[in-house]
Structure 1
Amino acid sequence: MYTVRIGSACILGAPVVAIALLAVCGPCLAADEATIAPADMPVVGTIDERFQSFNIEMVSVTGGPFWKPYAPSEESTPHKNRDLLAVRSPIDLGSARLRKYAAALSPAYLRVSGTWANTTFFPGSGVTSTRPPAGYKNVLTRHRWDSVIDFSKAVDAPIITSFAIGPGTRDSKGIWKPDQALEVISATRKAGGRIVAAEFMNEPDLPAIGGAPAGYDAAAFAHDFQVFRAFMRQAAPNVMILGPGTMGRSPDDSAFFLASASGIDAVSYHFYGALSERCAGGHTADISLSDEWLARTEKTFAFYAALRDRAAAGKPIWLTETAEAACGGDRWSATFLDSFRYLDQLGRLARSGVQVVMHNTLVASDYGLLDEMTLVPRPNYWAALLWRQLMGTVVLDPGLPVQRGLHVYAHCQRRISGAVALLIINNDPQTSHELILPNSSMRFTLDAGTLQDVAVRLNGAALAVEGSDQLPKLAGVPANAGSIRFAPATITFLAVPDAGNRNCT
């Protein structure tokens, strides 16, 4: 329930009333304001404490080729000159700066997987070779995996992973063998690490790209998955099995889901709104604030939710890999422009009941939360930090539909009894919007000089790390009860400590 103001008149009612009035009154609703009541917002669901999580690609751990970042003034188009990849050294997971910035987003999950994980060899105990045997493309040394475990423990981010499934893992009849999976699980346990969940493989709906055997299809996946499930129940019964880990919405994706549905503990899927320029994607930055672009995440979620309801009723849903665009992101992935997509996606999916959303990546290519060369936080990192600071695990109904140009999401505020946190996204690049809030609040507004700036401001002040890599305190500014204005192309969190919502105890 909310109040629509039309001139000096107020009409109390549900969203359908406003729609009906719009049909009659037309332009007279242009200056409408809606009153939201934090004290009365009902619960629509809860999310995992580690809802906002992140990926570190397996190839970042081992070293190897990954999506080459765009040069600052690149004239050539990457997909035309085929200069798509650049070879990296293994990421330094012992970096104090990296650990500090990752820990600030915790508690979280750390997913170490990706396309390259499908063909990565993990040596047995005592084996030190760094050359992959036949049927593999990369080697994950014990030392490198130990660094993942140490990082995971240091930043409070238990591990999610997948296993090698390429030709090197198969017997003479082409049947998958769990030897490599057992090596990873045993080594992790021995080192005191914690794998909380695992997918069998990364993106089985892209078998050729992922290094699966020739002709790999849903039937082959179904057979492999049954072997995998039986192995996991014996070797690691406390590890959740996720699946299928596909990224599309085709009949083939349905077939892969149905092949694994009876054996999963949670549904997992991947989502990218588009292919990046590197992979000949055709979308441009000018759609990035559009309601159509921001709503794309719900279409893919709806596809997997329907499959879940059909064949795995009651199972939770995890989005285990997502970013602005596949293949490393676009040129604007590292700018403020993508923060609208990042936070709107979190708000939408939390409201829809998704339990975990894992951003790809923490630090690699243009969609990394941190610059991979300097570890400097990008706009999406600051957005993630505000979400972690304010948005709790109880999801509320703000009483407003997602409207064109104004998206409002509500949660119980993190760690403050009775308090409510609001996320208000004005994705209208030209028009301000207003809401009436009957409570005083603390305001946290993100904006930038231009939408494609790599720097972001909080309440008008530039956000940047301070001496000794210290993150600044993300402080709000007081906002009085009453009408609150949200400028064009801004993102605002409102913390309402005295909301008195009984659902937020």
Structure 2
Amino acid sequence: MGGFRCRRCFMIFFLFFGKCQLDTISVTFDANSIRSTTSSQFVGVTLDSGLIRHKWENFDLRSLKVLTLAKGLSPYTNTYLRIGGTFADFCTFTPSALKNDTEQYRKASAFHDLFYEMTRSKPKNQTEFYMSARIWDEIHKFIQEAKFDLIFDLNVLMRTEANEWNSTNAIQLLKYTQRKGYRMAGWELGNEPNSFHHLNSSINVTAESLGQAYYRLSQILADFPTIRGRILTGPSTTQLNKKPTIRYFTSFLETKGGETVTSPNFHQYYVNGRTATVGDFTNSEILDSFEDELKTGNMIVALTGNERKLWLGETSSAYGGGAEGLSDAFVAAFMWLDKLGVSAKNNVDVVMRQSLYGGKYALLDAKTTNPNPDYWLTVLYRRLVGNKVLTTSSSRSPDVRFYTHCSAEGYLPGSVTLYGMNLRSVGVNVTFPQLDGQLKIYLLTAPNQDLKSRFVDLNGVTLEMTSDTSLPQMIPISGTNPVYMPPFSYVFILADEKTYSKACIHSWYNLS
């Protein structure tokens, strides 16, 4: 504890005496108008369907520790949990735990059988597996206790001999869900269908075929009004930076089934997890590449009508399961926080973080389920940042970037929260001309300036669970303009009660 106190004193020293740094960045925002509005459940999380196959690994749905960490993500509203991913298209529901009792489902889908026969030699055990009713029960008990809202990804590779989606198993799952009285937030059908050729060159689900499947699913869900959920999301393509993917995304949304989708979505990752470097995570050019994808997605969605809003259905730093020692370390925060800021200002409704558990990019450690640094960032974001976005401008530097929102609902109407980062290897002063008086500062840095650290310091104190049933206090430091930001740091700032946004206060009262 003595070391923690020492680092905290050192941080206070920086905040008040680091202002002799020469370089000063000015950050301003438009307090009079709302730029965009996200869902109040803007930040969601995912779990891979493959965890069901592997009996959840070290992720115990009944663990008090896991439940405490899950609840920490939902301070005001429930958090969306999507269970899906590559293994969703290998998953068959069965009311029995015994495979021999479910041969009827395999026989109902000759194409499905053929697909699995051709992929049995594929890596990662990409073969069929079964989700029993007991596991479905456990999932629903967990989401109720954890304050999650479930979106489930159904198997689109259940096919008929005519290569159409076979809905038999989906109906079986819906009937069971209705009988048990479970509620759903929404549904998805298939994972990255434009990229099935990576699994096997013989598999092809066209955008038109996927549209037919979604239309069939929308008709089925209409027969289950008590459980269907309001969300139908898709087509869940890979990222929108290549022409074939853009064509697939567009063609799907133009189909009759595509029109039934409430939340058009795609997946996005910045870099290859096998080749990523520390420098990639703080490279402003790599971070900037993401915004073009959002502009493309928003343009396509706008052209297809229905006043829908774009989702990031699955996203993190590095594809291929993440970059070991980086995607789960302090340095990952820069990609994650910037992605939240860029998404919010570009009118994305929901961002689904891959993942809560599983892979090298998870919020929780694979062996211990201890929080990785991005978990604490996500908790702070959910506590402090509201869903109304203000236009923000900063002077001169792409390496010091900030975003402004109306504060979360736990704060005074009209208050604002700013968040941002210093990607430089030297400290900078950041001044906020519109903010008067005392600022509540949540400054996050790497312990011992180690960007690969699996821990994060908040105002000089390392964030760790105090017990399996409680999170630590996350206490801000009071400061004034300018705010000193050390090298490679990020920050959340709440303005003094005397500073407020006209647009935020009007928005708050309109919603009341």
TM-score where L is the length of structure 1: 0.82
Root mean square deviation, CA, Å: 2.3
Percent of aligned positions that are identical: 22
Q: In the comparison of the two structures, how many residue pairs are matched?
A: 443
Q: What is the DSSP-based 3-state SS (H/G/I as helix, E as strand, rest coil) of the residue aligned with 1:345?
A: helix
The 2-side partners of 1:274 and 1:243 are apart by: 23
Amino acid at match of 1:108: T
2:5 corresponds to: none
2:233 corresponds to: 242
Q: 1:90 to 1:428 in 2, by over 3 A?
A: closer
- Aligned-pair distance for 1:194? 2.2
Amino acid at match of 2:398: R
Spell out, residue by residue over 1:298-342, the C-alpha distance to the aligned partner (whole angstroms, 9 max, x if none). Answer: 122222112112223521111110011112100201110001111
1:500 corresponds to: 500
- Aligned-pair distance for 1:382? 0.7
Spell out, residue by residue over 1:228-249, the C-alpha distance to the aligned partner (whole angstroms, 9 max, x if none). Answer: 3333334456432212110133
2:124 corresponds to: none
Correspondence list, 1:297-446, <5 A: 297-312=290-305, 314-331=307-324, 332-400=326-394, 403-414=397-408, 415-416=410-411, 417-436=413-432, 437-446=435-444
1:120 corresponds to: 91
The 1-side partners of 2:198 and 2:136 are apart by: 24
Contact 1:53 1:109 in 2 (8 A): yes
The 1-side partners of 2:192 and 2:86 are apart by: 7
2:476 corresponds to: 476
Correspondence list, 1:134-173, <5 A: 134=106, 135=113, 137-166=128-157, 169-173=158-162
Q: What is the DSSP-based 3-state SS (H/G/I as helix, E as strand, rest coil) of the residue aligned with 1:205?
A: helix
Contact 1:244 1:269 in 2 (8 A): yes
Aligned residue among 46, 71, 89 for 1:103: 71
Aligned residue among 165, 173, 181 for 1:176: 165
TM-score where L is the length of structure 2: 0.81
> Structure 2: which 5+ runs fail to align?
1-21, 107-112, 117-127
Q: What is the DSSP-based 3-state SS (H/G/I as helix, E as strand, rest coil) of the residue aligned with 1:471?
A: coil
The 2-side partners of 1:128 and 1:300 are apart by: 42
- Aligned-pair distance for 1:177? 1.9
Correspondence list, 1:70-85, <5 A: none
2:462 corresponds to: 462
Correspondence list, 1:196-345, <5 A: 196-209=185-198, 214-236=203-225, 238-249=229-240, 250-257=242-249, 258-260=251-253, 261-277=258-274, 282-312=275-305, 314-331=307-324, 332-345=326-339
Q: What is the DSSP-based 3-state SS (H/G/I as helix, E as strand, rest coil) of the residue aligned with 1:101?
A: helix
Correspondence list, 1:85-96, <5 A: 89=57, 91-96=59-64
> Structure 1: which 5+ runs fail to align?
1-29, 65-87
Contact 1:241 1:266 in 2 (8 A): yes
Contact 1:130 1:141 in 2 (8 A): no
Which structure would you say has the larger RCO, counting Cα contacts within 8 Å and 6 or more residues apart? 2
* Of 173-182 and 387-396, the range deviating more from structure 2: 173-182
The 1-side partners of 2:182 and 2:289 are apart by: 36
The 1-side partners of 2:393 and 2:436 are apart by: 14
Spell out, residue by residue over 1:167-225, the C-alpha distance to the aligned partner (whole angstroms, 9 max, x if none). Answer: xx223323212111122223233333322222221111111346797233334323333
Q: What is the DSSP-based 3-state SS (H/G/I as helix, E as strand, rest coil) of the residue aligned with 1:395?
A: strand
Spell out, residue by residue over 1:40-96, the C-alpha distance to the aligned partner (whole angstroms, 9 max, x if none). Answer: 3531122111111100111112317xxxxxxxxxxxxxxxxxxxxxxx648421111
Amino acid at match of 2:477: V
Q: 1:500 to 1:90 in 2, by over 3 A?
A: closer
